[in-house]
């Protein structure tokens, strides 16, 4: 066996389905060339000669996946939460994103964002940049150095934004093509994702052009969908040919169905929209903290799981104030309890197992075979030391995991591996 093959020993925890969490005390997970060789209670004979990294009583879980965040909103964390979405964008977000026209600001702010993401429990993320091609490249360069696996999008917007943050339609198309061309061959870990901001920011003709770019370059797509009632009503006015919001993306060929797509929020999706999300295999990024901060509401995630939709979690930094995916998990549980209590008594709250699945395998699937330790999955792992989360008596593994999710932070992560490599 070569040195790209080793075993991690510790308390191994991973999901196989939303309802099935595997917990193995003092077990082994084998890494072969960045891919999991499987989980074992005792190391099989064929692996007897490989290096064993023994993490003792620590927890070993798959790396967490953030399906939706905005890097340029790092400087907005923790303030400006007195408004709903559309006013928040105009008052706080657009002026902040405009600063990324300046290279020095982009370097400084993206440097801070990247540093925090590197230390966080996140190993993979879908990330919005801004409309600025140069700043987007700065962000991608910084992310590449972290060896995290990220999809990054230069944002497209050609209407309903202040002049300082609005592109002409052709300019948006050309800058996107130039961005794609400039990065060719530059990155190993960082990849482009097409990013129309949302329908209110993109004219029909820009959407058609982005649809053409998607087909030619086979890019994945990220955007926002049915987050806020005012936004949904506005899309009806802006795009009368669409029967519902998601259809406005579908008309441009940017809504799943062979075009890998992740849509943030889906708080107030109509039944037809949910049906199309399912039919086209669109991923839903559930962003509970943002939905609270911007008073957007509560996404019916129980229904989405029952109906077999692809669902993962997003921090939506900085609609969400924290980029911690531990926090996203506990928030997802908490808002689902309010939904059950206050909105729909048939929608049982999300369980710990379910949110763990969403933050690992659910979102991980957007990146391929990611988010589990089953053989054949990418070896993305976190080693967690929960000793600092004091408790007066010994606890079981499930209890310890729950406390890490509710009380843990980056300081509890002692090692972070992506495709077998420590970062």
Q: Which residues bind ligand GUN (CB under 6 A)?
A: 70, 85, 89, 93, 197-198, 224, 227, 290, 316, 319
Strand arrangement of the beta sheet that strand 283-286 belongs to: 221-225, 261-265, 283-286, 310-313
Report in angstroms how near the CB of residue 130 gets to ligand GUN at its nearest: 10
Q: How many residues bind Fe ion (CB under 5 A)?
A: 2
* Backbone torsions φ then ψ of 11, nearest 5 degrees: -90, 105
**Residue 66 found at the interface with Fe ion (CB under 5 A):** no
Nearer to Fe ion, 66 or 316 (CB): 316
Burial state string for 406-423 with b = 16 or more CB within 10 A and e = fewer than 16: eebbbebbebbbbbbeeb
Residue 231 interacting with Fe ion (CB under 5 A): no
97 in contact with Fe ion (CB under 5 A): no
Shortest Å, Cβ 227 to ligand GUN? 5
93 binds, among Fe ion, ligand GUN, none (CB under 5 to 8 A by kind): ligand GUN
The closest of 109, 102, 101 to 72, measured between CA atoms, is 109
DSSP 138-174: HHHHHHHHHT-EEEEE-EE--SSS-GGG---HHHHHH
Q: Which of 6-14, 40-48, 261-269, 326-334 is the region at the interface with Fe ion (rule: CB under 5 A)?
A: 261-269
- Pick what 27 binds: ligand GUN, Fe ion, none; C-beta below 5 to 8 Å, kind-dependent: none
> Binding residue for Fe ion (CB under 5 A) from 158, 316, 331, 380?
316
- Pick the closer one to ligand GUN by CB: 70 or 124: 70
What span, in angstroms and rounded, lies between the C-alpha atoms of 104 and 116?
Answer: 19
For ligand GUN, the nearest residue by Cβ is: 319
Residue 250 touching Fe ion (CB under 5 A): no
Q: How far is the CB of 284 from Fe ion (least distance, A)?
A: 13
Q: Which residue has the tokens 């991690």?
A: 8
219 in Cβ contact with 194 (< 8 Å)? yes
Q: HEC string of 30-78?
A: EEECCEEEEEECCCCHHHCCCEEEEEEEEEEEECEEEEEEEHHHHHHCC
Looking at the Cβ atoms of 245 and 373, the one nearer to Fe ion is 245
Minimum distance of Fe ion from residue 318's CB (angstroms): 9
Binder of residue 85, out of ligand GUN, Fe ion, none (CB less than 5 to 8 A by kind) = ligand GUN
Element (H, E) at 209: helix 204-217
Looking up tokens 């997003």 gives 314
Phi, psi of 68 (to 5 degrees): -165, 115
Would you say 93 or 336 has its CB closer to ligand GUN? 93
Q: How far is the CB of 101 from ligand GUN (least distance, A)?
A: 17
The binding site for Fe ion (CB under 5 A) comprises: 264, 316
């Amino acid at each position: 066996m070569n040195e790209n093959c080793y075993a991690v020993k510790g308390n191994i925890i991973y999901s196989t389905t939303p309802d099935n969490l595997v917990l193995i005390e003092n077990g082994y997970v084998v890494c072969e060339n960045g891919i999991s060789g499987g989980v074992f209670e005792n190391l099989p004979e064929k692996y007897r000669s490989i290096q064993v990294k023994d993490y003792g009583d620590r927890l070993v879980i798959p790396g967490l996946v953030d399906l939706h965040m905005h890097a340029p909103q790092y400087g907005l964390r923790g303030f400006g939460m007195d408004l709903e979405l559309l006013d928040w964008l105009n008052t706080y977000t657009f002026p902040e994103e405009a600063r990324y026209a300046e290279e020095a600001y982009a370097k400084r702010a993206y440097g801070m964002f990247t540093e925090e993401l590197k230390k966080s429990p996140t190993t993979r993320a879908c990330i919005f940049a801004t409309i600025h091609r140069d700043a987007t490249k700065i962000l991608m360069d910084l992310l590449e150095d972290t060896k995290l696996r990220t999809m990054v999008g230069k944002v497209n917007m050609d209407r309903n934004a202040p002049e300082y943050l609005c592109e002409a339609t052709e300019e948006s198309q050309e800058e996107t093509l130039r961005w794609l061309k400039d990065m060719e061959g530059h990155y190993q870990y960082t990849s482009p994702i097409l990013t129309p901001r949302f329908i209110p920011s993109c004219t029909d003709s820009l959407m058609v052009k982005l649809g053409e770019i998607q087909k030619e370059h086979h890019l994945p797509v990220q955007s926002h969908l049915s987050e806020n009632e005012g936004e949904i009503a506005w899309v009806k006015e802006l795009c009368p040919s669409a029967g519902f919001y998601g259809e406005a993306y579908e008309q441009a060929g940017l809504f799943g169905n062979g075009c890998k797509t992740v849509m943030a929020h889906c708080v107030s999706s109509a039944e037809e929209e949910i049906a199309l999300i399912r039919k086209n295999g669109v991923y839903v990024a559930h962003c509970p903290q943002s939905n609270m901060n911007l008073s957007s509401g509560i996404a019916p995630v129980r229904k989405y799981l029952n109906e077999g939709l692809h669902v993962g979690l997003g921090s939506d930094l900085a609609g969400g104030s924290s980029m911690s995916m531990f926090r996203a998990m506990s928030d997802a549980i908490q808002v689902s309890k309010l939904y059950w209590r206050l909105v729909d008594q048939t929608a049982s709250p999300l369980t710990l197992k379910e949110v763990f699945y969403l933050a690992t395998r659910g979102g991980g699937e957007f990146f391929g075979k990611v988010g589990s330790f089953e053989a054949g999955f990418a070896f993305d792992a976190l080693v967690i030391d929960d000793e600092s989360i004091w408790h007066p008596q010994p606890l079981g593994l499930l209890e310890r995991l729950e406390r890490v999710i509710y009380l843990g932070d980056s300081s509890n992560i002692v090692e972070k591996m992506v495709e077998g490599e420590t970062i």
